[in-house]
Amino acid sequence: MENHSGPILLLVTDNFLRSAQCMVNGREFMQDNRDAVLPIVADGVRQDESRNAYAVPTQFERISDIIQYINYWQDQYLDLRRQKRELEDEIDEETFSDHLRSVRAISGETSEFLRLLRNTEHVTYEELEETDYEMIFRFIGDINGWEKLKKARASRVMDRVPAEAVEAASNRNSEPMDDEPPVDIQDIPGMDMLPDDPEEEIEDDGDLVPDETEEEIVSDTSYQIEEEVEEIEEEIEEHILVEDDIPAESSSGPEEIHQNGAVYATEEEEEEEDEEEELVSALDPNYILENLHDWVSGGQTEKAIAELQNALQQHPEHLAMRYQLAHLLVQHEDDFSEARSQLATLLKYDSKHTGALFLSGELSEIEEDFDEAVGFYQDVAAIDSKFPEVHYRLGLILAHQFEDTQDHAMMEFRQAIAQHPENADAHYQYAMLLNEHQKALDAAAIEFMETLRLQPNHPFAYYDLAILYHTQGNLEKAQEAYLKAKALNPEVETPENDLAFGLTAPAEPEPVAEEPVERIAVEPKSQNGVVEEHIKENQEAAITTPASPENTVEMETTEATMEKSNSELIIERDALAALKENIFRLEEMIKARDEEQEKLKQQRPGNGKTVMVTGATSGIGKATAEIFARNGFRVIITGRRSDRLDAIEKGLQDEFHTDVHSLNFDVRQVEAVENAINQLPEDWKNIDILINNAGKAKGLDPIHQGRLEHWEEMIDTNIKGLLYLTRAVSPYMVARQQGQIINVCSTAGKEVYPNGNVYCATKHAVDALTKAMRLDLHSYNIRIGQVAPAHVEETEFAEVRFDGDKERGAKVYEGFQPLTSVDVAEAIYFMATRPTHVNIQDVVMLGTQQASSTVIDRSGR
Residues labelled as active-site residues: 759
Helix (H) or strand (E) holding 642: helix 642-656
Residue 649: phi and psi, rounded to 5, are -60, -50
Per-residue buried b or exposed e for 707-735, using 16+ beta carbons within 10 Å of the residue's own CB: eeebbebbbbbbbbbbbbbbebbbebbee
Rounded-to-integer distance, Cα 430 and Cα 501, Å: 25
DSSP string for 285-349? HHHHHHHHHHHHHTT-HHHHHHHHHHHHHH-TT-HHHHHHHHHHIIIII--HHHHHHHHHHHHHH
User: Position 697: which residue type?
Assistant: A
Distance between CA atoms of 270 and 132, rounded to whole angstroms?
40
Q: Which of 123, 153, 136 is nearest to 189 (CA)?
A: 136
In whole angstroms, what is the distance from residue 339 CA to residue 337 CA? 5
Q: What angle is formed at CA 136 by the lines to CA 132 and CA 139, rounded to 5 degrees?
A: 140
Relative to beta strand 44-47, strand 201-202 is unpaired
Residues facing 785 on adjacent strands: 742
Please write down the HEC assignment for all residues of 261-283: CCEECCHHHHHHHHHHHHHHHHH
For 536-576, the DSSP string reads HHHHHHHHHS---HHHHHHHHHHHHHHHHHHHHHHHHHHHH
User: Can you give the three-state secondary structure of 198-262, one letter per residue?
Assistant: CCCEECCCCCEECCCCCCCCCCCHHHHHHHHHHHHHHHHHHHHCCCCCCCCCCCCCCCEECCCCC
Task: Report the distance separating Cα 726 and Cα 738, nearest Å.
Answer: 14
Give 579: exposed, middle or buried? Use CB within 10 Å, 0-12, 13-18, 19+. Answer: buried
267, burial (CB in 10 Å: exposed 0-12, middle 13-18, buried 19+): exposed
Nearest to 565 by CA among 543, 534, 539: 534
Residue 351 CA: distances (Å) to CA of 376, 671, 791: 11, 49, 64
CA atoms of 221 and 227, how far apart (whole Å): 10
Number of H helices, E strands in the chain: 35, 18
Q: Label residue 198 exposed, middle or buried (CB < 10 Å: 0-12, 13-18, 19+).
A: middle
CB under 8 Å to 842, separation ≥6 — which residues? Answer: 770, 785, 786, 788
Classify 325 in phi/psi space as left (phi over 0), alpha (psi -120 to 50) or beta. alpha
